[in-house]
Structure 1
Amino acid sequence: MRPHIPGRDAEFTPAGAADGERAASARGKLLTWPVLAWGLWDWGSAAFNAVITTFVFSVYLTSSAFGDPAANESALSVGLAIAGACIALLAPVTGQRADRSGSTVFWLGAYTAIVVAVSAAMYFVLPEPGYLWLGITLLGVGNVFFELASVNYNGLLSRLATQDRVGAVSGLGWGMGYLGGIVLLLILYVGFINPEVGWFGVTDENRMDIRVSMLVSAGWFGLCAIPVLVTQSGKHAWRRWAAIEAAAGGDERALAGLESEPVDPVEAPARIMRHEPLAASYKHLWRTLVGLYRTHPEVLWFLLAAAVFRDGLAGVFTYGGIIAQNTFGFTSGEVIVFAVAANVVAGVATIAAGRLDDLLGPRRVILGALTVLVAAGLLVFVLHTAGARVFWILGLVLSGCVGPAQSAARSYLARLAPQGREGEIFGLYATTGRAVSFMAPMMYGASIWVGTHVVGAGAGYWGILGIVTVLAVGLLLMLRVQDPAGHITVGE
């Protein structure tokens, strides 16, 4: 396990010329191969996020091919709710156990492989009612292991750059995720879904176009995940990691105590088995929470604030297309075009905002993005009769603020997470997010209910007030959180 390194701000001179070059590299160039390899996982993960969960497979499951669409939506909600509960229970302890066994990269690869296999298995979900629950089960299992993989993936962020560059690295990865999703969606749309006869003779008979798209998505994610697993494994990865600690001002004796040999990927599962029973991991998690409450309550405040505003951010993209279609009169084709434009804007803005994160601090980026989101959301409500052009402008403004807030939240936590405890802390991050994931849907529906009693029929645009409310609450909670001053220390 990687120990806590005291005196990160102490003066430290690397022992050799090679270490000095690595330390300089850690402080210098942003677009190094390890950083790009890490970002490629984000790029590839959009195959599951954008294609499977949001735009293609979930829509396929709720179609009339599987029975009554309303009943299908209800069944899908049940399946995803169960998956969310599993994530909330498992994320902190699986991240903690990976930390304590020194096998973060191994479990990132294992969980990613499961997601890839589950994605490929979606090919076998035929468009018949009897296959509905097979599809929902695969989607739910994929969501669980995708989130567990994300915990380990986020935990690698501090290995890639010193604290003054973490924001740029996080923004690059998150932006690559947005752009990668759009590229893959366009490939699938042009190659398989839109034409009557697509590539390799694929047609929509028996929904082969959708099912083949699942195979392509699985391959896309699997190939894009390989670089980070290679670059973060072995002695070279450890040396880069040590050089980053040296560039950050780590203590030489503490650096010498870092794990000198990387974890053998064959031995990693055995190390987990020899570690501790699952119940003991939950006891350790409880001690961590008590320790945070006593010594670093600001971390718990951040986890609460981030959980709330991240749910609001998710609501912006979840309900943006619905508002565009039902309030501003967009056609289905125009919604797709808008979705492409919104994701491109989000990706570019997130990459650009990463530098602001490093210059101004993640707190200011989050506060600024949330303020603009609240203002733009209110304008959408006030100008709901102004036509499609107004929504294009305001919708792209909203899209351009979502990614920077998400990325800055990740970099904030990477700056705070104790050395060797990144997985556990990012696991808590995932759990708190899942714990309040009902807020945006609930407030969206409640606001529409209020609107129908105020203006009668056609009150769908009132839903934006529910999203704005969640974002505003997250903004208020974030006001009492300060920028991270360095890694916290949490007792064992």
Structure 2
Amino acid sequence: MLVSHQQNSILKHESLLVKFLTKYLSRVDSDIYFAKSSRCVTHSFTKTATVLSMANDGTLDALPVVGLAHNDDKKIPRKRVYAWAFWDWATQPFNTVLITFVWVPSFLTSTFFLDPDVVGTAGEEVALGQLAANLGAGITIAGLLIAFLAPVLGQQADRTQRQKLQLMIFTGLLVLTQLGLSFVQPGQEWFWVGVGLIAIGSVFNEIAGVNYNALLVSVSNSKTVGKVSGLGWGFGYLGGIIALATVVGLILSGVLQGDSALTFQLVALGCTIWTVFFVIPIFVSVPEPKTRQVGEKLGLWGSYVELGRSVKRLYKEARPTFWFLLASAVYRDGLSAVFVFGAVIAGIVFGFGFTDLVIFGIALNVVAGISTIIAGRLDDRFGPKNVILVAVFGLVACTTAVFVLVDLGTPMFWAVGLILAAFVGPAQAASRSFLARVTPAGREGEVFGLYATTGRAAGWMASLLWAVFIQLAGNQAIYGLLGIALVLLVGGVMLLFVKAPARSPR
């Protein structure tokens, strides 16, 4: 994907993006990055509970910002913020190019990996379906590994104050996984190698993401966490767009051949180079969070015992955080399903081909990226809970609209799809911001590990209801949208009852 003569183009994209974001943030320089705290924030669960119980003015209706308070009286260099955000940019092609739009759907689950005697026969469709099912099994196993490993690894990173080191290790493992994909050959004997690499890459990516999220407290403060979180998501979307557009451009121009296995091997190699190139800034410029030491390193079993105690303490002493983890697990499953099954709806119901789908995906990511960056300002002004609620209920309205207006055809799907994309990114970024605001200092990795775990634990709901509604409707795929809408609705209603974190005075 990224041959040598493409490097200058990438650097130009990076420069233009930084200039745009610099202009965007310049109006609020002193307010955003050089803000000082106007109130004192407690640094422990117990003291936080005491502050809340003593508040008598009605303004502290939830946990205040805690770990973030370490930066309220410090200058945060803009370079550090951009360096942090570029990790999202660097790793996004694994999801956008390799999993969602190019390598998996057009290579791994294609006729490249079927018995040649089956290709072109009546059994081809069934055989392709079996490939997709086997891929799903591999991803399910990866999800279980993430659910078991993410919280304890995050907890251990907190105890040793090594979140940046863990981020480096698991990002490096992700790079090696992507490199491995470039060696996968067509043929049945290579299929499970490809599935295994995609699955283990998902594990490495998710665990690295836990530590990346925990480093949010190193690049933001109680007044800017929403903007910075949104910036990271925006960088991710825009990076995915440019990577995907590069692949599509090379294929459409004839430089790469869409029906050649070599093309997909080069795409995987290009994604590897992309990640290596753009992860450098975060490891050079972003420090470990400066928080208190929470304890000695535990073994694996001891970590699970401590995890159980942590969940119990979380319920008793930081209940808004506990309930937010549950509510967000539900609506985040709906968010994931929107993109995963939206592509299925586009192909089956509205007749999108490969090129149509990729162009549609680029458009969705452009809208999502821009809206996410803009929504970061709304997050800090109105609070992350309000941003999430508007986004989630907006998604409910959009998915329902596609179902009701299906007879209007492709123009309607394009219009509603773009509106829908404008809600997805803000919901994701504001969720990370919400959690950062209610996470106690020194426990960022543990809580964000629980965030990953609860999301995986609820990851079956939308897909199950998708299948159930389709079955009840006589295998009409459009009815699956009602299942997704229901999951989003339940998650949104649950969030209504979660107390919002107190916002810092502007």
Regarding TM over 0.5, the answer is yes
Question: What is the match of residue 335 of structure 2?
Answer: 313
Match status 1:92 vs 2:146 = no
Match status 1:218 vs 2:275 = no
Aligned-partner Cα distance in 1 for 2:91–2:150: 18
Aligned-partner Cα distance in 2 for 1:439–1:340: 27
Match status 1:351 vs 2:379 = no
CA deviation digits over 1:265-292, x for unaligned, max 9?
xxxxxxx9x8321111111111101111
Match status 1:293 vs 2:315 = yes
Aligned partners of 1:171 and 1:351 also within 8 Å: yes
Q: Secondary structure at the match of 1:25?
A: coil
Aligned partners of 1:377 and 1:465 also within 8 Å: yes
Match status 1:63 vs 2:110 = yes
Question: What is the match of residue 179 of structure 1?
Answer: 238
Question: What is the match of residue 263 of structure 2?
Answer: 209
Match of 1:5 among 31, 43, 52: 43
Aligned-partner Cα distance in 2 for 1:431–1:382: 34
Aligned partners of 2:388 and 2:431 also within 8 Å: yes
Task: Within 5 Å, give how 1:96-245 maps onto structure 2.
Answer: 96-191=155-250, 193-198=251-256, 203=257, 207-232=261-286, 237=287
Question: What is the match of residue 18 of structure 1?
Answer: none
Aligned-partner Cα distance in 1 for 2:392–2:90: 27
Question: What is the match of residue 477 of structure 1?
Answer: 494
Aligned-partner Cα distance in 1 for 2:137–2:314: 33
**1:212 is matched by which residue type in structure 2?**
L
Q: Secondary structure at the match of 1:420?
A: coil
Aligned-partner Cα distance in 2 for 1:130–1:416: 48
Match of 1:445 among 467, 491, 494: 467
- Following superposition, the deviation at residue 447 of structure 1 comes to 1.2
Aligned-partner Cα distance in 2 for 1:131–1:78: 16
Aligned partners of 2:234 and 2:368 also within 8 Å: yes
Alpha carbons of 1:374 and 1:205: their partners in 2 closer, same or farther (altered >3 Å)? closer
Aligned-partner Cα distance in 2 for 1:91–1:24: 31
Match status 1:38 vs 2:52 = no
- Following superposition, the deviation at residue 131 of structure 1 comes to 0.4
Question: What is the match of residue 28 of structure 2?
Answer: none
**2:502 is matched by which residue type in structure 1?**
A
Match status 1:461 vs 2:487 = no
> Structure 1 regions of 5+ residues with no counterpart?
10-20, 243-254, 260-271, 488-492
Question: What is the match of residue 36 of structure 2?
Answer: none
- Following superposition, the deviation at residue 228 of structure 1 comes to 0.6
- Following superposition, the deviation at residue 325 of structure 1 comes to 2.9
Aligned partners of 1:48 and 1:119 also within 8 Å: yes
Question: What is the match of residue 132 of structure 2?
Answer: 73
Aligned partners of 1:91 and 1:427 also within 8 Å: yes
Q: How many equivalent pairs are there?
A: 428
**2:89 is matched by which residue type in structure 1?**
W
- Following superposition, the deviation at residue 225 of structure 1 comes to 1.0
CA deviation digits over 1:420-446, x for unaligned, max 9?
110000000000000111111111111
Q: With structure 2 as the length reference, what TM-score do the two structures score?
A: 0.80
Question: What is the match of residue 249 of structure 1?
Answer: none
Farther-moved stretch of structure 1 (118-127 vs 385-394):
385-394
Aligned partners of 2:236 and 2:369 also within 8 Å: yes
Aligned-partner Cα distance in 1 for 2:135–2:477: 23
Aligned-partner Cα distance in 2 for 1:150–1:111: 9
- Following superposition, the deviation at residue 449 of structure 1 comes to 1.5
Aligned-partner Cα distance in 2 for 1:144–1:44: 17
Aligned-partner Cα distance in 2 for 1:111–1:377: 35
Aligned partners of 2:436 and 2:444 also within 8 Å: yes
Aligned-partner Cα distance in 2 for 1:486–1:400: 24
Q: Secondary structure at the match of 2:75?
A: helix
Task: Within 5 Å, give how 1:249-398 maps onto structure 2.
Answer: 275-398=297-420
CA deviation digits over 1:311-350, x for unaligned, max 9?
1011111122222232234343322221111110000001
Q: Secondary structure at the match of 1:428?
A: helix
Aligned partners of 1:367 and 1:475 also within 8 Å: yes
Aligned partners of 1:116 and 1:218 also within 8 Å: yes
**1:417 is matched by which residue type in structure 2?**
T
- Following superposition, the deviation at residue 485 of structure 1 comes to 3.4
- Following superposition, the deviation at residue 206 of structure 1 comes to 5.5
Question: What is the match of residue 121 of structure 2?
Answer: none
Farther-moved stretch of structure 1 (322-331 vs 153-162):
322-331
CA deviation digits over 1:63-99, x for unaligned, max 9?
1111231221111111111111000000000000011
Farther-moved stretch of structure 1 (176-185 vs 294-303):
294-303
Question: What is the match of residue 29 of structure 2?
Answer: none
Aligned-partner Cα distance in 1 for 2:432–2:172: 23
CA deviation digits over 1:364-383, x for unaligned, max 9?
00001111111122111111
Alpha carbons of 1:219 and 1:166: their partners in 2 closer, same or farther (altered >3 Å)? same
- Following superposition, the deviation at residue 153 of structure 1 comes to 0.2
RMSD: 2.4
Farther-moved stretch of structure 1 (374-383 vs 352-361):
374-383
Aligned partners of 1:127 and 1:206 also within 8 Å: no
CA deviation digits over 1:94-122, x for unaligned, max 9?
00001101111111001000000110111
**1:337 is matched by which residue type in structure 2?**
I
Aligned-partner Cα distance in 2 for 1:448–1:170: 36
Q: Secondary structure at the match of 1:5?
A: coil
- Following superposition, the deviation at residue 165 of structure 1 comes to 0.6
- Following superposition, the deviation at residue 486 of structure 1 comes to 8.2
**1:381 is matched by which residue type in structure 2?**
F
Aligned partners of 2:110 and 2:128 also within 8 Å: yes
CA deviation digits over 1:206-236, x for unaligned, max 9?
511100110110111121111111112xxxx
Match status 1:49 vs 2:108 = no
Aligned-partner Cα distance in 2 for 1:224–1:412: 27
Aligned partners of 1:378 and 1:465 also within 8 Å: yes
Q: Secondary structure at the match of 2:224?
A: helix
- Following superposition, the deviation at residue 205 of structure 1 comes to 7.4
Q: Secondary structure at the match of 2:361?
A: helix
Alpha carbons of 1:134 and 1:359: their partners in 2 closer, same or farther (altered >3 Å)? same
Match status 1:25 vs 2:72 = no
> Structure 2 regions of 5+ residues with no counterpart?
1-41, 52-70, 115-126
Aligned partners of 1:416 and 1:486 also within 8 Å: no
